[in-house]
């Protein structure tokens, strides 16, 4: 569990305290959140331990966050349009003006970083023997998909939708289930890729952000001890009532865990052998 | 597989694990990363003995020519098929939340979310020091289990595996190699620490061993029959009975008196004591100076404690933590039962890393009600005693020894016990210097996960030359400027299994003779700094 300034610096835990169970818990939601933010925003562990991969992974992830922000801004812009406001460059409304500029900033920077990150990781995976040996075609495909989305969005912005009005209007139409504007080919491709992405990514490794939360919170950091009456103890009681099903002769299949571990008679087992 | 491929680490793929062409890898020590002076020439390195012709015929060794398990080769195709079926049955149970409630959550996360970035490989001492032998790569082993998981456990697995290029052939050859491969990782979990996803390749090693032991009854004799089973039957994995334990105590009381002039009776089976102290029973037999030192310290500090002469009460080991959840639970519950019977306030675990892991951490998830007795590290207690000033210490008594600290993985990385041992060393050893890296970034001694006590066939040779290589490198590095034998050097290793590994590895390399480096525990250094002792607490001689 991320600890405070003192122990956190070297990775110490409450086990360093004499009679630790009598001391107040060192858990801090703030520290946990801070560490998670460092992981999410800065990919901290990869930076520390694999810098050469981080230089592409970081821009890819930052690009994705910016593109998610871009999507959110499109929704806000769409809502503003549906409310009768114009989201234009010289709008008198501060919110509309901010949304206008931020949408472009997020879209352009996000897609540029996505291109750098995805193409860099693709090249690393394709040409680094260590990575190549363990990569399936799906790993390359996922990176190419992200590269294609970023590149098509950037190309669409540059050639057809410099103010992103078309995409904003499309979003407004989605929200109001209205008539969408006619989109140029490049933006149709972008939208198609994005739609495919949303259907596809839950079944792929790209959904690792969910797993990472649990891997860090429930596995790496969870150092809460069991205590009489707490949830952990209740879970253990239930688990010990499960029946053993393993076939090893020493296991005693058919007994519950509690029976097989506490009623186990090693002498009787030895005599049988 | 051709001989070229066998030699060429570049070309080994995960799918090769299922090959039927004999040995996958031929170990070539000239490809291992070089050690430091005076071991920077291959001539001074111990040989990895090949298996005899008879052993090769009798036992499975087609992974790398090393045999940890001494797994007999099945005689018929029918036998092989039965074993394959058993393995697949065990695989199914491993991923069933009813059968594997103990570790299913981190296992599933590990299976699903590996990014295959190889950050773990860079952190693995066995992989890096071997010169990058593919089969020792953490992800090599995990990827095999992952492919099996995707093919046999996930819905539509067979078809999807073929489509995604993640198929794997399951045959006895693969299973036999995988069994051996599960004993090429010390479960030090450096890989888990550096993983940006939180994936745990060390856990994969542990879970694979469980399939073999819990389902197929395949395990290592020293860990199971002579280890956890013997402990449950006779009281100790050493075979020491309660009567023999009491004899040992009497012997050690006399030894303490002879050495220090201090006369006391070890508290045994003292009901109502504050602390029940668990030593690794190996200490009583191989390194009695360590439990003796504990007795001197605790007596001088006026600590209320007791040992136990009950079956298992004098042996804090729990080998099940490395390979079998059921055996682990049986031993841990016995340990707790003894503490409960004595009515102690807490259990203190002596200088043994895996005992810490088993009793303080893993057992926490099998204890309920009045079995939830607090467990504490002896390092924390000793630091508290030293800090309190209850001991009269003069660190100049250790000034002629250069001391470095070997951090046992289970204490630092698993439990976050980093500073207490350092606080003690700063108080008692003026010549203390740190290895690089150290603390939670430490390297394993090479004896972890039971390796230190596996002495089958040529496995010890592999353990010294490969598993322990990085640690040896660190030791040579930290003492680089004082490496010549006129300087006394001490590797402080507060863990019995680590000491076992150092003992064997130092003999294999002639470390004491050539460099005058000794190993030992932490408690001995504390007692050596007590000025009221007429002579040094331990002799500077090989043990």
**Residue B270 belongs to a domain with what CATH number?**
3.40.50
Residue B473 vs residues A109, A273, B34, B36, B459: alpha-carbon distances, Å: 47, 45, 9, 6, 20
Burial class of residue B130 (count of CB atoms within 10 Å of its CB; 0-12, 13-18, 19+): buried
Question: What's the pLDDT tens digit per position in B36-86?
Answer: 999 999 888 999 999 999 999 999 999 999 999 999 999 999 999 999 999
Q: In whole angstroms, what is the distance from residue A253 CA to residue A208 CA?
A: 36
Q: Are residues B122 and B268 part of one domain?
A: no
Centre a 10 Å sphere on the Cβ of residue B532 and count the other Cβ atoms it contains. 11
* Residue A269 with chain B: CB contacts under 8 Å: 229, 233
Mean per-residue pLDDT for B354-368?
Answer: 97
User: In the prediction, which pLDDT does B9 show?
Assistant: 54
Give the 3-state secondary structure percentages of chain B, helix then strand then coil, rounded to 5.
55, 5, 40
User: In the prediction, which pLDDT does A26 show?
Assistant: 75
CA-based angle B466:B467:B473, to the nearest 5? 75
CA-based angle A92:A93:A96, to the nearest 5? 120
Asked whether residue B90 is assigned to any structural domain, the reply reads yes
Query: Kind of pairing, strands B432-433 and B401-405?
Result: parallel
Q: Are residues B514 and B368 part of one domain?
A: no
CA distance A138 to chain B (A): 7
Query: Kind of pairing, strands B305-306 and B517-520?
Result: unpaired
CA distance A44 to chain B (A): 8
Contact B109, B198 (CB under 8 A): yes
Q: In whole angstroms, what is the distance from residue B142 CA to residue A35 CA?
A: 27
- Closest Cβ opposite residue A262 in set B333, B384, B439: B333
CA distance A5 to chain B (A): 14
pLDDT at A27 exceeding the cut of 90:
no
Helix (H, G, I), strand (E, B) or coil at A182: coil
Top residue of B168, B326, B410 to mutate, by most chain A CBs within 10 Å, is: B326
Centre a 10 Å sphere on the Cβ of residue A89 and count the other Cβ atoms it contains. 11
Asked whether residue B52 is assigned to any structural domain, the reply reads no
Q: Does the distance separating the beta carbons of B360 and A260 come in below 8 Å?
A: no
CA-based angle B361:B365:B370, to the nearest 5? 100
Mean per-residue pLDDT for B341-357?
Answer: 98
Q: Are residues B184 and B79 part of one domain?
A: yes
Q: Are residues B175 and B84 part of one domain?
A: yes
User: In the prediction, which pLDDT does B33 show?
Assistant: 96
Angle between helices B378-388 and B289-300 (to 10 degrees): 40
Centre a 10 Å sphere on the Cβ of residue B57 and count the other Cβ atoms it contains. 10
| Residue scoring higher pLDDT (B220 or A92) | B220
- What total number of domains does chain B contain? 3
B348: phi then psi, degrees, rounded to nearest 5: -115, 130
- Closest Cβ opposite residue B164 in set A15, A136, A260: A136
Residue with tokens 């099940």: B320
> H/E element holding B326?
helix B325-342
Q: Does the distance separating the beta carbons of B369 and A50 come in below 8 Å?
A: no
User: In the prediction, which pLDDT does B309 show?
Assistant: 97
Q: Of the residues B197, B215, B233, which one is the last residue of a structural domain?
A: B215
Question: What per-residue string of b and e applies to A119-130 under the rule 16 or more CB within 10 Å gives b?
Answer: bbbbebbeeeeb
Q: Are residues B409 and B378 part of one domain?
A: no
What B249-254 contacts at long range (C-beta under 8 Å, 24+ apart), as own/partner pairs, is: B249/B284, B249/B307, B251/B288, B252/B284, B252/B288, B252/B291, B252/B292, B252/B295
Q: Are residues B241 and B171 part of one domain?
A: no
Q: Of the residues B185, B215, B245, which one is the last residue of a structural domain?
A: B215
Adjacency order of strands within the sheet including B432-433: B432-433, B401-405, B488-492, B517-520
Q: In whole angstroms, what is the distance from residue B324 CA to residue B330 CA?
A: 10
Pick from A103-107, A200-204, B307-311, B449-453: least confident: A200-204
Asked whether residue B57 is assigned to any structural domain, the reply reads no
* Residue B115 with chain A: CB contacts under 8 Å: 205, 208
Question: What's the pLDDT tens digit per position in A60-89?
Answer: 999 999 999 999 999 999 999 999 988 888
User: In the prediction, which pLDDT does B1 show?
Assistant: 43
Which structural domain range is residue B522 located in? 391-528
User: In the prediction, which pLDDT does B5 show?
Assistant: 46
Q: Are residues B281 and B402 part of one domain?
A: no
Q: Are residues B270 and B321 part of one domain?
A: yes
Q: Does the distance separating the beta carbons of A220 and B118 come in below 8 Å?
A: no
User: In the prediction, which pLDDT does A200 show?
Assistant: 92
Contact B278, B316 (CB under 8 A): yes
Q: In whole angstroms, what is the distance from residue B114 CA to residue A135 CA?
A: 11
Q: Which residues contact A205 (CB under 8 A, 6 or more apart)?
A: A138, A139, A142, B112, B113, B114, B115
CA distance A104 to chain B (A): 31
Asked whether residue B54 is assigned to any structural domain, the reply reads no
Contact B307, B277 (CB under 8 A): yes
Contact B371, B333 (CB under 8 A): yes
Question: What's the pLDDT tens digit per position in B229-243?
Answer: 999 999 999 999 999
Q: Are residues B76 and B127 part of one domain?
A: yes
pLDDT at A111 exceeding the cut of 90:
yes
Helix (H, G, I), strand (E, B) or coil at B316: coil
User: In the prediction, which pLDDT does B105 show?
Assistant: 94
Contact B321, B449 (CB under 8 A): no
Chain A residue with the nearest C-alpha to that of B219: A248
Q: Are residues B188 and B244 part of one domain?
A: no
Chain B residue with the nearest C-alpha to that of A38: B196
Mean per-residue pLDDT for B374-395?
Answer: 97
pLDDT at A204 exceeding the cut of 50:
yes
Mean pLDDT of chain B: 95
CA atoms within 13 Å, Cβ hemisphere of A81: 24
Q: In whole angstroms, what is the distance from residue A113 CA to residue A64 CA?
A: 8
Residue B472 vs residues B45, B252, B469, B479: alpha-carbon distances, Å: 12, 32, 5, 11
- Closest Cβ opposite residue B196 in set A46, A226, A250: A46
Confidence of residue B8 (pLDDT cuts 50, 70, 90): low
Q: In whole angstroms, what is the distance from residue A226 CA to residue A247 CA?
A: 30
* Residue B94 with chain A: CB contacts under 8 Å: none
Tokens for A107, please give them.
């879209």
Alpha helices (H) in B368-489, listed in sequence order: 378-388, 409, 419-428, 459-462, 469-478
Q: Does the distance separating the beta carbons of A266 and B233 come in below 8 Å?
A: yes
Confidence of residue B11 (pLDDT cuts 50, 70, 90): confident
pLDDT at A269 exceeding the cut of 80:
no
**Proportion of chain B above pLDDT 90, given as a percent:** 93
Q: Which residues contact B522 (CB under 8 A, 6 or more apart)?
A: B351, B379, B382, B421, B424, B425, B492, B494
Top residue of B12, B115, B417 to mutate, by most chain A CBs within 10 Å, is: B115
- What are the DSSP E strand ranges found in B340-431? 346-349, 375-377, 401-405
Asked whether residue B541 is assigned to any structural domain, the reply reads no
Question: What's the pLDDT tens digit per position in B401-421?
Answer: 999 999 999 999 999 999 999
Centre a 10 Å sphere on the Cβ of residue A71 and count the other Cβ atoms it contains. 17
Angle between helices B77-94 and B201-210 (to 10 degrees): 130
Confidence of residue A4 (pLDDT cuts 50, 70, 90): low
Asked whether residue B376 is assigned to any structural domain, the reply reads yes
Q: In whole angstroms, what is the distance from residue B188 CA to residue B185 CA?
A: 8
Angle between helices B201-210 and B138-152 (to 10 degrees): 60
Q: Are residues B95 and B18 part of one domain?
A: yes
Q: Are residues B430 and B335 part of one domain?
A: no
Chain A residue with the nearest C-alpha to that of B369: A228
| Residue scoring higher pLDDT (B163 or A52) | A52
Q: Does the distance separating the beta carbons of A248 and B194 come in below 8 Å?
A: no
CA-based angle B111:B117:B122, to the nearest 5? 110
Contact B207, B107 (CB under 8 A): yes
Angle between helices B104-113 and B201-210 (to 10 degrees): 120
User: In the prediction, which pLDDT does B520 show?
Assistant: 97
Asked whether residue B87 is assigned to any structural domain, the reply reads yes
Asked whether residue B93 is assigned to any structural domain, the reply reads yes
Top residue of A14, A215, A225 to mutate, by most chain B CBs within 10 Å, is: A215
Mean pLDDT of chain A: 91
- Rounded to two decimals, the pTM is 0.94
DSSP state, residue A253? T
CA distance A188 to chain B (A): 28
Tokens for B344, please give them.
């102690």
Question: What's the pLDDT tens digit per position in B103-130?
Answer: 999 999 999 999 999 999 999 999 999 9
Mean per-residue pLDDT for B310-333?
Answer: 97
Q: Of the residues B191, B215, B239, which one is the last residue of a structural domain?
A: B215
Q: In whole angstroms, what is the distance from residue B325 CA to residue B321 CA?
A: 7
Contacts across the A-B interface (CB distance below 8 Å): 216
């Amino acid at each position: 569990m991320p600890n405070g300034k003192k122990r956190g610096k070297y990775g110490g835990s409450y086990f360093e305290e004499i009679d630790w169970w009598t001391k107040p818990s060192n858990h801090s939601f703030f520290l946990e959140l801070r560490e998670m933010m460092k992981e999410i925003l800065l990919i901290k562990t990869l930076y520390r331990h694999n810098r050469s991969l981080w230089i592409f992974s970081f821009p890819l992830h930052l690009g994705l966050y910016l593109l998610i922000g871009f999507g959110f801004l499109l929704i806000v812009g769409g809502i503003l349009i549906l409310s009768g406001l114009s989201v234009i460059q010289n709008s008198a409304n501060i919110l509309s003006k901010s949304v206008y500029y931020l949408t472009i900033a997020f879209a352009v920077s996000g897609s540029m970083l996505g291109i750098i990150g995805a193409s860099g990781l693709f090249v690393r995976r394709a040409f680094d023997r260590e990575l190549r040996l363990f990569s399936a075609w799906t790993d390359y495909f996922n990176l190419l998909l992200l590269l294609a989305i970023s590149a098509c969005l950037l190309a669409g912005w540059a050639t057809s939708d410099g103010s992103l009005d078309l995409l904003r209007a499309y979003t407004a139409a989605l929200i109001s289930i209205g008539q969408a504007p006619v989109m140029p080919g490049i933006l149709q491709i972008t939208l198609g890729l994005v739609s495919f992405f949303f259907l596809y990514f839950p079944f792929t490794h790209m959904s690792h952000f969910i797993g990472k939360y649990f891997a860090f919170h429930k596995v790496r950091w969870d150092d809460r001890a069991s205590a009489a009456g707490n949830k952990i103890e209740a879970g253990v009681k239930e688990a010990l009532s499960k029946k053993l099903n393993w076939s090893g002769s020493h296991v005693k299949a058919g007994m519950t865990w509690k029976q097989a571990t506490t009623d186990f008679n090693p002498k009787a087992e030895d005599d049988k052998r | 597989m051709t001989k070229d491929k066998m030699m060429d680490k570049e070309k080994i793929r995960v799918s090769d694990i299922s090959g039927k062409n004999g040995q996958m890898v031929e170990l070539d020590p000239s490809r291992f990363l070089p050690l430091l002076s005076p071991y920077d020439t291959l001539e001074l390195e111990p040989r990895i003995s090949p298996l005899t012709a008879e052993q090769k015929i009798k036992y499975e060794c087609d992974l790398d020519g090393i045999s940890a398990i001494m797994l007999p080769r099945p005689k018929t195709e029918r036998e092989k098929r039965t074993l394959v079926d058993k393995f697949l049955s065990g695989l199914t149970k491993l991923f069933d939340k009813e059968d594997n409630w103990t570790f299913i959550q981190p296992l599933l996360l590990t299976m699903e979310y590996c990014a295959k970035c190889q950050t773990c490989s860079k952190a693995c001492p066995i992989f890096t020091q071997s010169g990058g032998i593919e089969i020792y790569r953490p992800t090599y082993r995990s990827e095999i289990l992952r492919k099996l998981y995707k093919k046999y456990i996930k819905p539509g697995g067979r078809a999807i595996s073929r489509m995604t290029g993640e198929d794997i052939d399951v045959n006895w050859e693969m299973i036999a190699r995988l069994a051996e491969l599960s004993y090429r990782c010390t479960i030090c979990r450096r890989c888990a620490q550096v993983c940006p996803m939180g994936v745990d390749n060390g856990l994969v090693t542990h879970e694979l061993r469980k399939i073999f032991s819990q389902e197929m009854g395949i395990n290592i004799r020293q860990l199971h029959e002579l280890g956890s089973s013997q402990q449950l039957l006779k009281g100790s994995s050493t075979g020491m009975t309660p009567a023999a334990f009491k004899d040992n105590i009497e012997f050690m009381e006399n030894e303490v008196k002879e050495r220090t002039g201090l006369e006391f009776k070890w508290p045994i089976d003292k009901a109502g004591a504050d602390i029940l102290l668990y030593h690794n029973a190996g200490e009583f037999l191989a390194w009695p100076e360590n439990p003796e030192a504990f007795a001197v310290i605790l007596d001088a500090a006026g600590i209320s404690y007791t040992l136990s002469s009950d079956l298992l009460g004098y042996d804090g080991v729990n080998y099940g933590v490395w390979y079998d959840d059921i055996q682990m639970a049986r031993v841990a519950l016995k340990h707790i039962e003894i503490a409960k019977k004595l009515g102690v306030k807490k259990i203190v675990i002596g200088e043994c890393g895996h005992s810490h892991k088993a009793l303080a951490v893993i057992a926490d998830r099998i204890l309920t009600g009045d079995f939830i007795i607090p467990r504490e590290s002896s390092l924390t207690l000793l630091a508290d005693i030293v800090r309190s000033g209850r001991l009269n210490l003069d660190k100049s008594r250790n000034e002629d020894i250069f001391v470095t600290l070997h951090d046992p993985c289970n204490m630092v990385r698993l439990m976050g016990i980093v500073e207490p041992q350092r606080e003690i060393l700063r108080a008692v050893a003026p010549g203390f210097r740190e290895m690089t890296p150290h603390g939670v970034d430490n390297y394993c001694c090479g004896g972890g996960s039971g390796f230190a006590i596996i002495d089958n066939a040529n496995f010890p040779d592999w353990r010294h030359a490969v598993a322990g290589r990085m640690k040896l490198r660190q030791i040579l590095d930290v003492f680089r400027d004082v490496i010549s034998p006129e300087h006394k050097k001490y590797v402080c290793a507060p863990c019995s299994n680590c000491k076992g590994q150092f003992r064997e590895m130092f003999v294999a390399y002639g470390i004491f003779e050539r460099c005058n480096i000794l190993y030992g525990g932490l408690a001995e250094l504390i007692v050596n700094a007590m000025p009221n002792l007429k002579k040094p607490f331990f002799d500077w001689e090989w043990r």
